[in-house]
């Protein structure tokens, strides 16, 4: 794994994470930790979409990410899409520790097979957990498990879209003092298959469903521009 630091025209430090193995499969074990020091701004993204390849039976891949945001600091966690392939098996965790006045923008997009290739997912094992803490106290917890026939699972009304296919999903978390003022504008940018809620004075949560990655990005790009006051990372545009 590598991290590149491209030139920036602002005070924000940008970092691009690169998985040089080209993907993740059973038995792989990745961990990443980043800290934004007091008063700083750190932007994190990936060079390309991450691919979760088929695993051998009873083999899991693990991915553990940890972000620490100190007083008056901010992290923009904006990785490109994670693509699930047939037979993949991954346990992924994101843990964020925030100081009292720290800020965070976290976007995690998922793609369920490559639509252009006609792929459908009937055997996957994907476990995902996101936890936010402020000064050691729980602020937000989201856990999701997707197993078995994902195509059928996402077609149910309570999970995906009953009248359209669900090929992509994204979680958006925004923790900042101006979160409440962003809610109406964010809702206006999202399609009917998405929802956004203010679950705390400074915590905004949204989840988006889309038929494919192209349609998902049509929502994510303007949402990132709104919540970060800048364009998405340059690697998103290549």
Q: Model confidence at 105, in pLDDT bands (50, 70, 90)?
A: very high
Asked if 168 and 111 count as a contact pair (C-beta separation under 8 A), the reply is yes
Which pLDDT score is estimated for 158? 67
Q: List Cβ neighbours of 62 (8 Å cut-off, separation of 6 or more).
A: 28, 29, 30, 90, 91, 92
Which pLDDT score is estimated for 238? 65
- pTM of the predicted protein model: 0.94
Kindly give the pairing relationship between strand 194-200 and strand 124-134.
unpaired
Asked if 41 and 69 count as a contact pair (C-beta separation under 8 A), the reply is no
Which pLDDT score is estimated for 59? 93
* Least confident interval from 16-30, 134-148, 160-174, 209-223: 160-174
Structural domain spans, the chain: 2-237
The mean pLDDT of the chain is 92
146 closest CA partner among 52, 19, 223, 217: 52
Which pLDDT score is estimated for 237? 82
pLDDT in tens, 45-81: 999 999 999 999 889 999 999 999 999 999 999 999 9
Which pLDDT score is estimated for 120? 84
Residues 148, 29: Cα–Cα separation, whole Å:
22
Which pLDDT score is estimated for 154? 81
Question: How many residues make up the chain in this entry?
Answer: 238
């Amino acid at each position: 794994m590598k991290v590149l630091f491209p030139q920036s025209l602002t005070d924000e430090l940008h970092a691009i994470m690169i998985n040089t193995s080209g993907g993740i499969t059973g038995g792989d074990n990745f961990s990443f930790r980043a800290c934004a020091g007091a008063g700083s701004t750190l932007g994190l993204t990936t060079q390309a979409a991450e691919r979760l390849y088929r695993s051998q039976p009873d083999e899991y891949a693990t991915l553990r990410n940890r972000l620490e945001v100190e007083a008056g600091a901010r992290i923009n966690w904006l990785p490109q899409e994670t693509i699930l392939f047939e037979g993949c098996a991954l346990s992924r965790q994101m843990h964020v520790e925030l100081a009292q006045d720290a800020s965070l923008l976290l976007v995690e997009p998922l793609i369920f097979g490559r639509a252009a290739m006609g792929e459908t997912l009937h055997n996957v094992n994907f476990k995902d957990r996101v936890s936010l803490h402020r000064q050691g106290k729980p602020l937000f917890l989201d856990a999701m498990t997707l197993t078995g026939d994902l195509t059928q699972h996402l077609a149910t009304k309570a999970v995906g879209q009953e009248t359209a296919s669900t090929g992509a999903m994204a979680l958006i978390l925004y923790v900042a003092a101006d979160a409440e003022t962003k809610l109406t504008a964010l809702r206006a940018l999202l399609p009917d298959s998405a929802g956004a809620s203010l679950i705390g004075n400074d915590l905004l949560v949204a989840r988006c469903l889309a038929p494919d990655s192209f349609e998902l990005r049509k929502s994510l790009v303007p949402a990132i521009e709104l919540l970060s006051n800048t364009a998405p990372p340059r690697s998103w545009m290549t």
